A and B are shown apart, each in its own frame.
Chain A
Amino acid sequence: MPPATPDDTEAWAAMPIDKRAGSAAEALAGVCDGATVLISGFGGAGFPNVLIRALRDRGPKDLTLVVNSATHRYSVTHELIEAGMVRKVVCTAARGQGKEPSPFERLWMEGKIELECVPQGTFAERIRAGGAGIPAFYTPVGFGTELAQGKEVRNFAGRDCILAQAITGDLALVRADTADRYGNLAFRYAQMNFGLVMATAATLAVAEVRAVLDAPMSHERVQLPGFYVDRVVAVGA
């Protein structure tokens, strides 16, 4: 049984589960070439930028990124692409912000990076399915569009639907607000976005957080149970 009080430091030190990593680099130990990497963040919230930079510094090659935007002004995902580490991007938005092509757009036009563009709800649900043991599902979204090309179509109750396959990954990088030693996560406002499902769908789920609590957080605050999360690292605000 865990110690009754949070300040019994000696007793806590003896408890076997402790997912706190000393640094972002340490939190990425074991990440290899060819990995499929799920990266959270949307609209300016929930980008794990410290972990993305640590991944860039680690330098694995031939990555597949599963990320909402290939380029976003508040994210540093493009640094992985610029560094030539990425073979393929699965995303909902591949358009750069400026007039000049983004690093992704440049490589894409040169045929040096592969793109799979997915409607955002299908993107989220494919990842959810990956973590929930559902190999594939049918959705009406995208039927009759270019993004349905080559996909199996089936009619359910008069509605044409297309088959979407689950996404799983080797690594998920997620940003949350607080964590505890068990990997329990609490998010601020719209930070959650893709982070919840991404952490469930990856073999190694790593969260960067503003702060790691000394004591386990109250169950009422836990938005993602710690068993999904393998490593947490405090990176500040």
Chain B
Amino acid sequence: MPPLNRLQIAWRAAQDIADGTLVNLGMGMPVSVADYLAPESDVFIQSENGVIGAGPLATPDRSDSDLVDASSRRVTLRPGAAIVDSSWSFAAIRGGHIDVAILGAFEVAANGDLANWDMRLPSKGPLVGGAMDLAACARAVWVIMEHVTRKGAPRLLETCTLPLTAVRCVKRVFTDLAVIEITPAGMVVREMLDGLAEADLRRQTGAPLTFAPDWRPLTAPPIELPAADRA
């Protein structure tokens, strides 16, 4: 099967979210995870701006400029939702009350170090937002990202080269090629893209990989990317 597209990676991450949990979804690819939660599941999505229980995106006729998430998207509230202020919202994050934070990343190291906030773009100011709070303090930090950069360089590395967001924080990584656990013994492959050769995965990974004894093929249902994303 071909590598997973961005939405299929989001779908795969959604399959691991336990019912009844409180989850934070980072900007970019992670926010799509919400679209693949089972309709009957009771997951609460927390947004850094204080929304606890964000529902689906608002339709234009129902959208409200005061009801937004941390990505400035106009959202709805699910039944049972609440809204608090930023200091309380981050007290919840720092206090370890968020079960899972799913974040995008530029690089992840074999010890769980995460780099996802500063690509050192020339002429661009830094943007840290809530990335460091979530990475350092969520109970579990999962990353979803492409396995390699657009130029083909590995994003899973022995040591991060970009500025760190937090040290030793990432527990699980979902990519277009694999699902990888970060353990005290390094990176462990739980799933590898159906049909990919082990040597191909190792070649595209910048750190040693161990295969779990019960590793499985990674598959996902077909999901079309929106036209704007395919270019």
Residues of A within 8 A of B (CB): 42-46, 70, 72-74, 92-96, 101-102, 104-105, 108-109, 115, 117-122, 124-125, 127-128, 139-147, 177, 188-197
Chain B residues 109-129 with CB under 8 Å of chain A are: 113, 118, 123-129
User: In the assembly, what is the distance between CA of A193 and CA of B209, in Å?
Assistant: 43
A-B contact pairs, 10 of them (CB 8 A): A44-B65, A45-B65, A46-B66, A101-B123, A115-B126, A119-B131, A140-B137, A145-B166, A188-B67, A194-B85
User: In the assembly, what is the distance between CA of A195 and CA of B86, in Å?
Assistant: 9
Cβ-based interface call for B17 (8 A): no
User: In the assembly, what is the distance between CA of A190 and CA of B81, in Å?
Assistant: 12
Within the complex, what minimum Cβ distance (angstroms) separates B84 from chain A?
7
Cβ-based interface call for B31 (8 A): no
Chain B residues closer than 8 Å to A121, beta-carbon distance: 90-91, 93-94, 130, 132-133, 137
Chain B binding surface SS class: loop
Chain B residues closer than 8 Å to A120, beta-carbon distance: 48, 86, 90, 128-130, 133
User: In the assembly, what is the distance between CA of A202 and CA of B126, in Å?
Assistant: 26
Within the complex, what minimum Cβ distance (angstroms) separates B94 from chain A?
5
Whether B125 lies near A108 (C-beta < 8 A) is yes
Within the complex, what minimum Cβ distance (angstroms) separates A98 from chain B?
11
Cβ-based interface call for B71 (8 A): yes
Q: Contacts A120-B90, A120-B129 hold; do A42 and B70 have CB atoms under 8 A apart?
A: yes
Cβ-based interface call for B30 (8 A): no
Cβ-based interface call for B8 (8 A): no
Cβ-based interface call for B64 (8 A): yes
Chain B residues closer than 8 Å to A101, beta-carbon distance: 123-124
Identify the closest chain B residue to A146 (Cβ): B163
Which of B48, B66, B124, B125 has a CB less than 8 Å from the CB of A189?
B66
Chain B residues closer than 8 Å to A109, beta-carbon distance: 123
Whether A92 lies near B49 (C-beta < 8 A) is no
Whether B49 lies near A141 (C-beta < 8 A) is no
User: In the assembly, what is the distance between CA of A197 and CA of B66, in Å?
Assistant: 18
Cβ-based interface call for B87 (8 A): yes
Cβ-based interface call for B136 (8 A): yes
User: In the assembly, what is the distance between CA of A120 and CA of B133, in Å?
Assistant: 7
Chain B residues 39-54 with CB under 8 Å of chain A are: 47-51
Q: Contacts A43-B71, A43-B72 hold; do A140 and B125 have CB atoms under 8 A apart?
A: no
Chain A residues closer than 8 Å to B165, beta-carbon distance: 145
Cβ-based interface call for B14 (8 A): no
User: In the assembly, what is the distance between CA of A80 and CA of B177, in Å?
Assistant: 47
User: In the assembly, what is the distance between CA of A121 and CA of B133, in Å?
Assistant: 6
Identify the closest chain A residue to B165 (Cβ): A145
Whether B124 lies near A193 (C-beta < 8 A) is no
Within the complex, what minimum Cβ distance (angstroms) separates A12 from chain B?
30
Whether B125 lies near A70 (C-beta < 8 A) is yes
Within the complex, what minimum Cβ distance (angstroms) separates A168 from chain B?
14
Identify the closest chain B residue to A139 (Cβ): B94
Whether B94 lies near A190 (C-beta < 8 A) is no
Q: Contacts A45-B66, A94-B127, A105-B123 hold; do A74 and B49 have CB atoms under 8 A apart?
A: no
User: In the assembly, what is the distance between CA of A145 and CA of B86, in Å?
Assistant: 23
- Given A95-B125, A104-B125, A189-B66, 20 more contacts at CB 8 Å? A43-B69, A44-B65, A44-B68, A93-B128, A95-B126, A115-B126, A118-B128, A120-B48, A121-B132, A122-B133, A124-B90, A140-B94, A144-B167, A190-B47, A190-B67, A190-B69, A192-B50, A192-B85, A193-B85, A196-B87
